[in-house]
Amino acid sequence: MALFTYSRLSNLLRIYADKPSILRTATEITRGPPCCVQLVRCQRTVDTKALQERQKQHMAKGLPKQKPITGVKRVIVVASGKGGVGKSTTAVNLALGLMANDPSKSVGLLDADVYGPSIPKLMNLKGNPELSDNNLMIPLINYGIPCMSMGFLVEDVAPIVWRGLMVMSAIDKLLRQVDWGLLDYLVVDMPPGTGDVQLSITQNIPIAGAVIVSTPQDIALLDARRGAEMFKKVNVPVLGLVQNMSVFQCPNCNHQTHIFGSDGARQLADTLGVQLLGDIPLHLNIREMSDRGKPVVVSSPDSPEAEAYRKVASAVIQRLEEINP
Ligand SMILES: Nc1ncnc2c1ncn2[C@@H]1O[C@H](COP(=O)(O)OP(=O)(O)OP(=O)(O)O)[C@@H](O)[C@H]1O
Ligand SMILES: [Mg+2]
């Protein structure tokens, strides 16, 4: 067996270092005194760029091709890293706000929270979707908004105990096997977190923009930041942040209290370089009406709460026009 000495190693390295067309490793010889060999990090060459480009092409091949949802012009996702901060409530009122601001636009609502679907309750909808002639599910409609949710396909109280693959297949059904007709906007209510479902959706369909919902509380903001960073990473434009439950106004004495802090989401928006799309107060009416399946934008259109949601809807449209006129 040939003895692999230091001098043989140095010889090898020298041979490769002298060949410019060969991809260099991260180490190279510097010529010091003849008796010693120094291995130092070398600059990557043009060849490395070519390799990175090839790697990128390989990676792209591995990802699913983004395919638009038939008939849908723009998809807006409503997300947050954290659970329970008001995504579903915001998604529903945003969809209604978009329509209230411009009744000529058609808006749909997709509940992507397959484990804990909320849209059936929030939109006061029940039942199984019928199938169209070409075997696509026909969304259920209330308040003029066609809606699709896993909640229409499973029993109300049945726990959804699925492994990852089943969840992916459910998401695929919700994305591809629904007859939306023609929609200007499809608002997608995302599940909490930054996991498989979020990635799968962002990789499978083109998304016009993401709306991140957060309370002004540090712990929620941390997750909201993760959510925003995830969308940036997968090249989905972050339209901005909605600060939810920012102020509570006592219905008796009108005293205002900032239960979760006052300005956290605004500060986070500044840090991330995105816009604050609006402030939604913590309001009993929002909670009560949501629980009754009568979102405030339709049940109390003249209230300041409804106005706050309509403002968010206008800000979303403005941002979409800026990004993609
Ligand atoms: N601005 C608000 N004022 C009062 N109650 C609110 C407000 N926003 C949301 N809520 C209430 O907070 C609770 C959680 O809201 P919601 O279900 O929209 O959160 P979520 O982020 O979608 O939760 P999950 O992560 O579980 O999907 C609900 O009871 C809802 O009615
Ligand atoms: Mg929800």
pLDDT tens digits for range 52-69: 777 666 666 656 678 999
The pLDDT assigned to 37 comes to 43
The helix (run of H) or strand (run of E) holding residue 77 is strand 72-79
The one-letter amino acid code at 263 reads D
Nearest atom of ligand 1 to the alpha carbon of 281: 1
Q: Where are the beta strands (DSSP E) in 81-178?
A: 107-111, 140-142, 145-149
Given pLDDT bands bounded at 50, 70 and 90, which one contains residue 6? Answer: very low
Given pLDDT bands bounded at 50, 70 and 90, which one contains residue 220? Answer: confident
Residues with CB under 6 A from ligand 1: 80, 83-89, 113, 116, 118, 192, 244-245, 280, 282-283, 286-287, 290
80: CA distance to ligand 2 center in Å? 10
How confident is the prediction for the chain on average, in pLDDT?
83
Query: Which own/partner contact pairs does 17-21 have at CB distance under 8 Å and 24+ positions apart?
Result: 17/42, 20/45, 21/47
290: CA distance to ligand 1 center in Å? 9
Residues of the chain with CATH 3.40.50.300: 72-323
In this structure, the number of other CB atoms found within 10 A of the CB of residue 158 comes to 7
User: 105-126 burial string, b = 16+ CB within 10 Å, else e?
Assistant: ebbbbbbbbbeebbbbbbbebe
| Nearest CA, atom 2, ligand 1 | 282
5: CA distance to ligand 1 center in Å? 68
118: CA distance to ligand 2 center in Å? 6
DSSP type of residue 216: S
Average pLDDT over residues 135-146: 97
Which backbone phi and psi does 180 adopt, to 5 degrees? -80, -10
Q: Which ligand places an atom closest to the C-alpha of 192?
A: 1
Written as one string, the DSSP assignment of 14-54 is HHHHH-TTSPP-SEEEE--STT--EEEE----HHHHHHHHH
Report yes or no: 202 and 176 within 8 Å, Cβ to Cβ. no
Choose one of 257, 290, 309 to mutate for the ligand 1 pocket test, by most ligand atoms within 8 angstroms of C-beta: 290
The pLDDT assigned to 65 comes to 78
39: CA distance to ligand 1 center in Å? 59
Query: Which own/partner contact pairs does 16-21 have at CB distance under 8 Å and 24+ positions apart?
Result: 17/42, 20/45, 21/47
Convert the pLDDT of each residue in 22-40 to its tens digit: 333 344 444 444 444 444 4
If you classify domain 72-323 with CATH, what class do you get? alpha beta
